[in-house]
Structure 1
Amino acid sequence: MIITLTPNPSVDRAIVIDDLRRGEVHRATSSRIDPGGKGINVSRALTAQGGETLAVMPLGGAEGHLLGDLLDQAGVAHGAVEVAGSVRMNISVLEPDGTTTKLNEPGPELSPAEVDALLTATLDRADTADWIVGCGSLPPGVPTDLYATLVTRLRDRGGRVAIDTSGAPMAAAVAARPHLIKPNHEEFAELVGRDLPTMGDVRDAARELVADGIEIVAVSLGGDGALLVTAEDTVHARATIERPLSTVGAGDCMLAGLLHGLTLGQPAAEALRTGVLWGAAAVTLPGSLVPSPADLRGITVHVTRDPDLRTVLSH
């Protein structure tokens, strides 16, 4: 069982157009809506692949009702904490070459009582979980140390915690020593406070965090794949997708696959392969659609413990 906590979920509307031109009227060629938010995407991907998961989130307003309905339709088990504000609506504009422009609302302001209820709802279910995952941005009113508090409380109870966020919430969480973090390249550079232009720079920075108490550092690198570092191992995995449709949620699917593999007892290299496979499959799908088992077919993932550390990473 993998439990996800998404403090700032969303309804995601993806709109496909031929070419984005600022200030002009566009006619969409297609559109779709999906449940959104990093942790929710992790749970959606796990559900689509037959994994056991529970998504914990605040729900409120008309968008909250829609989000709950969308999760029910997708078969995603969820534990909702009712809040006074309305869940946000995010918009992604997709172009034929895979370019994605995102417009994200801030989300509802949560009261201290609502924040406490969200933490309690997660902790009350934690004893049944192999992993508890704290994911995504924090809405207004939520203290920066929410994920750090989650890590501290779960560590005291023996829970394994993964964190995927950015900025001050990630820095605070890392200081509390979660078992696993999964930033992307830009978020990781922000976390360590320096540019990381090459594969070797990312590897070295990850080793520093591992030496400081993080068991697994997995950095998603977009088209350059992903790098996973533990005290015993450094693994790089990459899949090439010739015709990407949307990058929305691909990193979340990668994290879902990685945790799924670890839950099944796969070694780090094989779990990373699973993660990159799921993430690569997500890129072939429209909007924030998550891959089914059929979508994984035909995708080859190359895994090595000896990546070229001189590789200059794309942005």
Structure 2
Amino acid sequence: MRALTVTLNAALDVTYPVARLTAGATHRVADPVVRAGGKGVNVARVLRKLGTPVVATGLAGGASGALLRAELEAAGVPEALFPIAGETRRTVAVVEDSGEATMFVEPGPRVTEAEWDGFVRHYRDLLADADLVVLSGSLPRGVPLDAYAALVHAADLPVVLDADGAALAVGAAAGPAVIAPNRHELAAAAAGLHPLELGAAAAVVSDGPAGMTAYTADGVWTAAPPERVVGNPTGAGDAAVAALVACWDLPWADRLAHAVALSAAAVRAPLAGDFDRDFYEHHRSRVRPHRVTED
């Protein structure tokens, strides 16, 4: 399974570890971490560590974009990012010893119509070497609201869509194979509809520490982590998407078990895009999905 991940609003992620975040105080940070980020980039990192062939594409520009490319190369994640004039955004995560994470997220560059058209052509070329596509994250300014719908329609391949708000609703209506929102994102996009009424063939919905539910044509499955996990939840949803891709040919109950276990293993890792491999290997067999009967 060769995956292509798309991150239209990629980011240079800066993580500040602190003992405890106190409003109005000065915090001295030891060993901040700067690395390539954005939801699709995180998915690509995890897939590479799982041994699934992957290429990360999206938009990147300016000094931050150059650093993003260099960090991906250093991490061994193949990239085919499309250059734009605007500066790639930065995100700052302040992570306390308790695992509590406070995020500061820039809006991202403004993308021109010509840049968007160029990326779509670039994306179509990359599809020739992919078996599955992952579309993840927010839309930068200037990219049309139906961007994900256009990318779904352009791919004669299974597509996993992880977005929120109107981008999720419009993208889901284009008929991707799977949507992967959290419960809050789903509620904002669905307006009271059943998850499958949005248009996707399946929906995997995260309920945070309580686990996940998969709504499929074969029924509804739910699963929870085998134990309470403490750590940094940033990137846990991206790890779950990576598990769904890596286990694509398994039955839905098994795919959900892997997604829940890998998501929990990601919480135990300090940075998005990483996961605790020992925890994942030990606990994935302990996640026991069960079928849900809907009213």
What TM-score comes out, normalization by structure 2 length? Answer: 0.93
Query: 1:242, CA displacement in angstroms?
Result: 4.3
Contact 1:64 1:87 in 2 (8 A): yes
Partner of 1:296: 280
Query: 1:306, CA displacement in angstroms?
Result: 3.4
Contact 1:34 1:288 in 2 (8 A): no
Partner of 2:65: 64
**What letter matches 1:11 in structure 2?**
L
Partner of 1:108: 109
Contact 1:12 1:36 in 2 (8 A): yes
Partner of 2:133: 132
Query: 1:245, CA displacement in angstroms?
Result: 2.2
Q: Partners in 2 of 1:295 and 1:115 — Cα distance?
A: 41
Go from structure 1 to structure 2 and tell me whether the alpha carbon gap of 1:268 and 1:168 turns closer, same or farther (over 3 Å shift).
same
Go from structure 1 to structure 2 and tell me whether the alpha carbon gap of 1:241 and 1:169 turns closer, same or farther (over 3 Å shift).
same
Partner secondary structure for residue 303 of structure 1: coil
Contact 1:236 1:307 in 2 (8 A): yes
User: Once the two structures are superposed, what CA deviation does each residue of 1:12-38 show, in whole Å capped at 9, x if it has no partner?
Assistant: 111111221212111225421221111
Contact 1:55 1:76 in 2 (8 A): yes
Contact 1:233 1:305 in 2 (8 A): no
Contact 1:56 1:121 in 2 (8 A): no
Are 2:250 and 1:249 equivalent residues in the alignment?
Answer: no
Partner of 1:202: none
Q: Partners in 1 of 2:17 and 2:227 — Cα distance?
A: 19
CA RMSD of aligned residues (A): 2.0
Partner of 2:196: 210
Q: Partners in 1 of 2:81 and 2:119 — Cα distance?
A: 9
Runs of 4+ aligned structure 1 residues displaced above 6 Å come to: none
Partner of 1:34: 35
What aligned pairs does 1:64-103 form with structure 2 within 5 A after superposition? Answer: 64-103=65-104
Contact 1:130 1:159 in 2 (8 A): yes
Partner of 2:15: 14
Query: 1:241, CA displacement in angstroms?
Result: 5.1
**What letter matches 2:287 in structure 1?**
H
Query: 1:243, CA displacement in angstroms?
Result: 4.9
Query: 1:211, CA displacement in angstroms?
Result: 5.1
Partner of 1:228: 214
**What letter matches 1:185 in structure 2?**
R
Q: Partners in 2 of 1:279 and 1:54 — Cα distance?
A: 21
Contact 1:163 1:181 in 2 (8 A): yes
**What letter matches 1:304 in structure 2?**
P
Which of 254, 266, 270 is the aligned partner of 1:286?
Answer: 270
Q: Partners in 2 of 1:32 and 1:18 — Cα distance?
A: 16
Are 2:268 and 1:266 equivalent residues in the alignment?
Answer: no
Partner of 1:275: 259
User: Once the two structures are superposed, what CA deviation does each residue of 1:97-153 show, in whole Å capped at 9, x if it has no partner?
Assistant: 221111011111111111112222222121332211111001111111100111122
Are 2:225 and 1:239 equivalent residues in the alignment?
Answer: yes
What TM-score comes out, normalization by structure 1 length? Answer: 0.87
Q: Percent identity?
A: 32
User: Once the two structures are superposed, what CA deviation does each residue of 1:43-97 show, in whole Å capped at 9, x if it has no partner?
Assistant: 1100011111111111211111111111111111110211111111100111122
Go from structure 1 to structure 2 and tell me whether the alpha carbon gap of 1:123 and 1:85 turns closer, same or farther (over 3 Å shift).
same
Alignment coverage as a number of residue pairs: 293
Q: Partners in 2 of 1:60 and 1:113 — Cα distance?
A: 15
Partner of 2:291: 306
Partner of 2:48: 47
Which of 178, 184, 199 is the aligned partner of 2:182?
Answer: 184
Query: 1:291, CA displacement in angstroms?
Result: 2.2
Q: Partners in 1 of 2:15 and 2:84 — Cα distance?
A: 26
